[in-house]
Structure 1
Amino acid sequence: MTTATQTRDTTIDAVRAVAVAGVVLGHWLVSAVVSDPHDTSALHGESPLQHASYLAPASWLFQTLGLFFFASGFAATRRSPSPGKHRRRLVVPVLILAAVWLPAIAALRAVGAPDSTRHVVVSLVTHPLWFLAAYLVLTAAAPALKRLVGRAGAPAVLAPLLLVAITDAARDGGLPGWWRLAMVPVAWSVPYLLGIALADGRLSRRDGPLLAAAGLAGGALLLTVGGYPSSAVGVPGDRFSNLDPPSLAAMSLAMLQIGGYLMLRHRLENTARRAVATLNRTALTVFLWHQTALLLVTFAGLAAGRPPGLLDEPDGAWVLHRIAWLPVAAIVLTALTWVFHRYERRTR
């Protein structure tokens, strides 16, 4: 059985890096900020998946939150007990983000920016915080979750999976707001528990094919027979969002990804590179500021009117144009990460 005293697992670092990269690229590809042709300062958000449903399979590729929580559960088990220090590592970057954006949003109001513009800015900046809140809840519950895995092993995930299934069955009747919020950490506890099980030696490579097959078969049935939305992320007009709160389809995707990781883990042991280690050190900063990078590029584009892939309607060849903007957003994100990660370290 593995213990917390063992060396750092570079394959988990690789999983976390892939998860963060998937979230960033996924958000950049589905977060269309559209300007009004008659008033370029009036912005609103749209999803390209509304105009191009054939892109839905790509959303399953970039929806990597299951891997993120899986790596987090593993790290919580291996991490030495220092809850105060860990909380500071999380809280300080969020406070810095708030210190920058609260005055900026107030300034938008002061200069008379349209309500739709302020709404899209607030939505893009705060959206990642919902998942960080779920992470904080699971981190606080980690001792209890470790004891649960210690008694039941990997099958401990059956309890939260049952609650997710009950929630899915009740969606059409409308879910109370408090239930939707509570189910976010409950659902993401499924990959989190699997991460704990791996760190505790209760999950191994031989479980990979079973998890992957269950995830693939379950997801296929839910999409084709169960009538679940074809997109892994929320799309206006869909019956519901697979992430609000996370559905059985989202759990199936997480199990497929984790199963794939377990099968490939032995091949990843010697392939973690410096870039992976660097991204892991700055993962939270990247996660918090990636939408800010997109907004800065978008605001700069206002000077050119409605550049394709940046401020125009997300239809036609929009996705190809947006891909061309990704390197620009990546450069801006790199600069933001360099500035704010250094400041976070000094503040801590």
Structure 2
Amino acid sequence: MFGRPPGGSLIGMTDNATLPRGARALDAATPADRDRYADLLRLFSIGMVAVGHWVVALLTVNGAGTLGTAMPAMLSTWVWQVMALFFFVGGFAHARALRHDVPCRVSVGRRTGRPRRAAGSAGGDFVRSRVARLLPPVLAMLVIWTGLALAMQAAGLTGGVFAVGRRIITVPLWFIGVYLLVVLAAPAMMRLHRRHGLWPVFGALAAAAGVVDLAATSVPLVGYANMLFVWLAVHQLGYAYADGTLLRGGRRLASAFAVGGLAGAALLVFGTDRYPVLMVGLPGNEASNSAPPTLALLGQGVFLVGVALLLRPAGTALAARPRAWLVVAAGNSMIMTIFCWHLTACYLVQGFLLLTGVTVPAASALPLWLLACTLVCALLVVALRRFERPRPAGTGHPAAAVAGTVAAALGLFAISRLGLDSAAWPQLTSLALLAAGVLTLRR
């Protein structure tokens, strides 16, 4: 794991059995120039996603349907909708990986004397290597849950919480589908970043997001194009973090991001009637800037990046502590497993309470609920983290990498919308599309 390029992603790069046992041993084995803060941000963002989903689930169970219309609750989503941080760190990790790509065995260029890459091969290898780290935990989750769904239907458990569980358990997989497309675009976006720098590319993506928002008022489906424009814009900020552009700006640039992003989002939300207040849906109010993403969500993402840059000295100091770094490194080595199974943990806790008739006192409901979900999630991760160990990537034609990634992304996005509560042809087609994508990537 730690022989990889400094600053690269920990996701899927570590065989969990090879982590050094001692915190000091792990600390000593980590390259001095590794950006530990990026790993801390990645773990924090996924942890916040899990906690957010658990809190929403508790509110749903307790019937707090009016919470989604309370202004304090709506404004709180501006802080705990932190998915932008994951895309930001993803851009950083992808920039490092693309910087250290190994040239292919081809003829030597006439001018530079350096090996040239076969057309498209570097991008294809990069995409395959990333997808090989992302998909195995997702596939394991879908195989296990598909089996559980079929068993429930065979046992006649087709209604109530059983149906709800099968329908919502796949909802977070939209993120993996979008992230796969961002991975696919990463080499091209890196070329644009190297040629034009941060601001022209970021500005073009932000402008495209604004145009999509305008068009979506007449044709709502057009809004889903911002799943690429908005998240690619945040991803592009990760490139600027990797090459030092954001760090050279110091606290002044970080503050400008924080203040400007927040002010821009507030102006769009409260100065127009086009954008909802919520940055992510709440019980009783599903209208948000996340489904699909909007220019307001991009502003909130810039705000979060600015805050993250301002907190970088403190976060770096924390991650430099051997014990803290052990937690961060271990968490990153199983981060996709956490993401895939955190809703299952919540579902199991809720099922246990319903079956046993146990009630939690209102005064302590949230702390006990979060503790129970955390413990169950930890057990699931320990049992299933083996699927996150590195897998060899395919070596086929770059076109196969593109086709396979697109098919897998579309399949995951469809599954996230349809769920597993039916064996009808839409669900089966979505699973088949995902399987076809995975097989194509393995060629």
TM-score (norm 2): 0.67
User: Within 1, Cα distance between the matches of 2:180 and 2:342?
Assistant: 20
Distance, in Å, in 2 between the alignment partners of 1:328 and 1:301 is 11
Q: Secondary structure at the match of 1:270?
A: helix
> Which position in structure 2 is the counterpart of 1:14?
40
Q: 1:39 aligns to what? A: none
State how far apart, in whole Å, the 1-side matches of 2:328 and 2:286 are: 38
In 2, the alpha carbon distance for the partners of 1:35 and 1:134 equals 29
- Select 2:228's aligned residue among 165, 185, 206: 185
1:246 matched to 2:293: yes
Where 1:126 maps in the other structure, the secondary structure is coil
1-structure distance, mates of 2:232, 2:78: 19
Deviation of 1:142 (Å): 0.8
Alpha-carbon distance between aligned partners in 1 of 2:134 and 2:53, rounded to the nearest angstrom: 21
Q: Is the 8 A contact 1:183 1:245 kept in 2?
A: yes
| 1:25 and 2:43 correspond | no
Q: In the alignment, is the contact (CA less than 8 A) between 1:157 and 1:190 conserved in 2?
A: yes
**How far apart, CA to CA, are the structure 1 residues paired with 2:66 and 2:152?**
26
Question: Deviations for 1:99-142, whole angstroms, at most 9, x for unmatched residues?
Answer: 11001111222222345545522343211210111111111111
For residue 22 of structure 1, what is the amino acid of its counterpart?
A: M
Give the counterpart letter for 1:324 in structure 2.
Answer: L
Unaligned runs of 5+ in 1: 37-44, 310-316
1:167 aligns with 2:212: yes
- Matching residue's letter, 1:27: H
Structure 1 residue 76: deviation in Å?
Answer: 0.4
Residue of structure 2 in register with 1:219 after alignment: 265
| 1:78 matched residue in structure 2 | 96
Paired residue for 1:314?
none
In the alignment, which residue of structure 2 is the partner of 1:139?
A: 183
1: CA distance between counterparts of 2:216 and 2:163?
26
Within the alignment, does 1:280 sit opposite 2:298 as a pair?
Answer: no
Q: Supply the distance in 1 between the matched residues of 2:265 and 2:314 (Cα, whole angstroms).
A: 26
Alignment TM-score, normalising by the size of structure 1: 0.84
What is the one-letter code of the residue matched to 1:49? L
User: Structure 2 CA distance, aligned partners of 1:158 and 1:346?
Assistant: 36
Q: Aligned partners of 1:307 and 1:226: how far apart in 2?
A: 44
Query: 1:331 — aligned with what?
Result: 375
Matching residue of 1:297 = 349
RMSD: 2.7
Tell me, yes or no, if the aligned pair for 1:29 and 1:323 is still in contact at 8 Å: no
8 Å contact from structure 2 (residues 56, 283) kept in 1: no
- Counterparts of 1:233 and 1:331 in 2: how far apart (Å)? 26
Q: Quick one: structure 1 residues 285 and 5, their matched pair in 2 at CA, closer, same or farther if it must change by over 3 Å?
A: closer
Q: What does residue 240 of structure 2 align with? A: 197
Between the aligned partners of 2:166 and 2:235, the Cα distance in structure 1 is 29
Alignment-derived partner of residue 56 in structure 1: 74
Answer whether contact 1:164 1:187 (CA < 8 A) is retained.
Answer: yes
1:65 aligns with 2:83: yes
Residue in 1 aligned with 2:306? 259
C-alpha displacement of 1:236? 6.7
Letter in 2 for 1:158: G
- Distance in 1, matches of 2:55 and 2:286, equals 22
Q: How many residues align?
A: 327
In the TM superposition, residue 180 of structure 1 has moved relative to its aligned partner by 4.0
For 1:242, what is the secondary structure of its paired residue?
coil
The equivalent of 1:40 in structure 2 is: none
1:128 matched to 2:128: no
> Residues 265 and 51 from structure 1, CA distance in 2 versus in 1: closer, same or farther, beyond 3 angstroms?
closer
What are the superposed Cα offsets for residues 291-329 of structure 1, whole Å, 9 maximum, x if unpaired?
Answer: 0110011111112348459xxxxxxx69x6234310000
Question: Residues 104, 162 of structure 1: CA spacing in aligned structure 2 closer, same or farther, 3 A cutoff?
Answer: same
Displacement after TM superposition at 1:5 (Å): 5.7
Superposed CA offset, 1:321-342 (max 9, x none): 2343100000001111111113
| Alpha-carbon distance in 2 for matches of 1:330, 1:199 | 33
One-letter amino acid of the counterpart of residue 58, structure 1: S
CA distance in 2, matches of 1:175, 1:143: 30
- Deviation string 1:117-175 (CA, Å, 9 cap, x unpaired) is 45522343211210111111111111111111112222111122112212222343341
Aligned counterparts, 1:95-114, within 5 A = 95-114=139-158
Please state if 1:93 is matched with 2:140. no
- What SS class does the counterpart of residue 127 from structure 1 fall into? coil
- 1:207 CA displacement: 2.1
Report % sequence identity: 32
Q: Distance in 1 between matches of 2:190 and 2:61?
A: 48
Q: Quote the Cα distance in structure 2 between the aligned partners of 1:217 and 1:160.
A: 19
Separation in 1 of the partners of 2:54 and 2:202? 31
**For the Cα contact (< 8 Å) 2:281–2:288, is it kept in 1?**
yes
Rounded Cα–Cα distance in structure 2 between residues aligned with 1:130 and 1:32: 22
